[in-house]
Homo-oligomer: A and B are copies of this chain.
C-alpha cells in the first residue's frame, strides 16, 4: 500500500530558494582585512548564485554532471558556488588548499574538473599546477591577488564579477533526483591515493536538517555563526547549507585565520557561535590571554576534527564559551556524533565527562563496534571495538571515475555496506561514543585490543616523561605487543621498572596490557602536521635501530 504523500525530492536547490525567499535578510559577512567587512544578504547572494549558474551554463558550457571545483577560502562567493553548482545539476568539487601539490593534481585529474573557481590569493598555488590539469578548461578568479601567473596556460581565465554581471536573475532549475551527485570532497588519506566522497542532494538536505536540530548545533536566525572550519573540509561541517535552511547569519574569515584577526572579528562582529578544530581554539586562547578582547557574544563553540583537550574545554567554559564536542569525518558529511550531555547528567559532576566524549549518535547514524574477531560488541562503555556506521548521510563507497564502478575497499566498508571508520573506542549504554585509538595503531594482543593512546596518556602523566609513543610490534606468543617509546625530561631518574610499576598503580592500566618492551628516544618522530609518525617507529624497530629493553 503506497502512501498518498507528495513525492518531493530533497535538493540543494530547495535550500537555495528557501534561503532567499524566507531568510533573504540574513547576512553573510566576509572579513576583508580592511576597515569594513563585505556584507551580503542571503537574497543578494542568492541572486548572484543564479547569475553564476547562468554564466557557468551559457559562457563556460557547464552541462550535466560536469565537475566545477573551488579552490577558495570561506567567503560569500564560495557560498554562492556551494548553491549555484548543485542547483544547476552539476557537481561542486571543493579542493583542499592545504594538500601537497602532487595530491591536488591527482585529485583534479581524478575528478576531471572542467572549471576551477579560485580566490585571487590562491593563484600562486594553482598556477604552477595548471599545465598538469588538462581537464580544466576554465579558471574563474574571485577577490584580490595578482592574476599574471595564470597567463599563458591552456585554460581560459575569467573574472568572477565580470562573468556574473548582467546575467539573468532567474534560472529554470532542473528537476533533480535527490540521489544525484551534488558535491564531492576527497579525503586526505595518510596512506594510498586520496578517496573521493560524492554527496547527494538527499544526503546534504538531511544533514542540514540534522545540523539544525536542537541537540546538534541548534542555531536560529538570531545567531551568527563564525565558520572557521574551511568550506573545503566536508562542507564546512554543513553550516552553509544548514544556515540557508534556517536563516542563521554567517561570519566568514576568508584567509584571515590567524588568532589576532579571529579575535578581532569576534569582538567587532559579535558572533554567537563558532566552529573549528582544536588547534584554532588553542591559538585563539593564547591570543586572548596576551591581548584580552570582548568575546562575550560567543557562547557556543563546536569543536571537531580532533579530540578537544580537557584543558581547552575548561578554559573556554571559563570565558563563557560553551564547548560542544562533535565527531565526524569526510565520509560522514560530517555529523556523526554531538556531545550534548544527557538530561540526568546536566548539573552534575558527570556532565563534564560526558561533554569530553565524542558524543551521542543521532537517529540518522546507526552505529556498532566490532571486536578483533569481527564480533559485535555491547554498548557497555567498556568493550573496545572498531566503530562502523550506517545512515543516509554516510558514504557507502568512493568515487572511481565517471565510468567506473564505485570503489568499496574491504578495509573501509563491511559486506553489508556499513562504513568502517578506522576509529576504535567504546559506546556507553546511552549511545555516547568515546574514541580511544585508530585501528591501525591499536595493539592486537591475543584476540584483545590494547589502546596505544591510553598507554601514551598514562605514560605522559608521569613527571619524568616528556613524550611517549606506543606502537605494536610482532610477538610470537600474542601476535602483537606494545612497545613503549619514551622521551625523558631533563634530570629524570625513573627507570623502566619504575615506569612499568607506575602504569600498574591505581588501576591506570590493566596488568595484561603493560608493555614488556621499552626504549628511550631523543624525540618521537612526527608527521608534517605534528602527529606522532608511528609508521617510522615501527620501521625503526623492525630494522633493529632501537635499543630495546625487555622486562618481565
Interface residue ranges, A against B (CB under 8 Å): 1-8, 10, 14-15, 17-18, 21-25, 65, 91, 179-182, 196-200, 202-203, 206, 208-210, 212-215, 218-222, 245-247, 340, 342-344, 346, 360-363, 366, 379, 390-399, 402, 406, 417, 419, 429-431
> Are B346 and A200 neighbours in the complex by a CB distance under 8 Å?
no
Contact assessment for A15 and B180 in the assembled complex, using a CB-CB cutoff below 8 Å: no
Beyond A4-B406, A5-B394, 6 additional contacts (C-beta under 8 Å) are A5-B395, A6-B417, A8-B392, A22-B361, A215-B220, A220-B343
| Chain B contacts for A3, CB-based, 8 A | 179-182, 198-200, 202-203
B22 x A360 contact (CB < 8 A): yes
How far is it, in angstroms, between the C-alpha of A311 and the C-alpha of B206 when the chains are bound? 39
Q: Are B363 and A5 in contact, with the CB atoms below 8 A?
A: no
C-alpha spacing A203/B10, complex, angstroms: 12
- Find chain B residues with CB under 8 A from A24 CB: 429-430
Asked whether B1 lies within 8 Å of A91 as measured between CB atoms, the reply is: yes
Q: Which residues of B contact A360 (CB under 8 A)?
A: 22
Report chain B residues within 8 Å CB of A393. Answer: 5
Q: Which of B4, B25, B210 contacts A399 (CB 8 A)?
A: B4
Contact partner, A431, options B22, B218, B361, B397, Cβ 8 Å: B22
A292 to chain B minimum Cβ distance, whole angstroms, is 28
Determine which residue in A6, A215, A222, A390 has the highest number of CB atoms from chain B within 10 A of its CB, and name it: A6
CB neighbours (8 Å) of A182 from chain B are: 3
Interchain residue pairs A-B with the least CB separation, the first 8: A3-B200, A22-B431, A6-B396, A1-B65, A18-B363, A1-B181, A4-B397, A222-B343
Q: How far is the CA of A136 from the CA of B220 in the complex (A)?
A: 48
Q: Is the CB of B2 within 8 A of A181?
A: yes
A245 pairs with B363, CB closer than 8 A: yes
Residue contact A198 to B6, C-beta cutoff 8 Å: no
**Chain B residues within an 8 Å CB radius of A391:** 6, 8
Which listed residue, B1, B21, B212, B395, touches A214 by the CB 8 Å rule?
B212
Contacts of A199 in B (CB 8 A): 3, 5
Instruction: Write 18 A-B pairs (CB below 8 A) sorted by A numbering.
Output: A1-B65, A3-B179, A3-B198, A3-B199, A4-B198, A4-B397, A5-B179, A5-B392, A6-B417, A7-B392, A7-B396, A14-B366, A15-B363, A22-B360, A25-B430, A209-B213, A214-B219, A221-B342
Which residue of the partner chain, among B4, B222, B363, contacts A395 with CB atoms under 8 Å? B4
Inter-chain contact B398/A197, CB cutoff 8 Å: no
Q: Tell whether, in the assembled complex, residue B392 and residue A198 are in contact, meaning their CB atoms are under 8 Å apart.
A: no
Q: Which residues of B contact A343 (CB under 8 A)?
A: 220-222, 247
A6–B394 touching, CB < 8 Å: yes
Given A198-B4, A392-B5, A430-B22, the answer on whether A214 and B203 have CB atoms closer than 8 Å is: no
Closest to A333 in B: B5
Which chain B residue shows the least CB distance to A419?
A: B6
Output the least CB separation between A361 and chain B (Å).
6
**B-side contacts of A430, CB under 8 Å:** 22-25
Task: Verify B398–A1 contact, CB threshold 8 A.
Answer: no
Q: Are B221 and A402 closer than 8 Å at their CB atoms?
A: no
Chain B residues with Cβ below 8 Å from A22 are 360-361, 363, 430-431
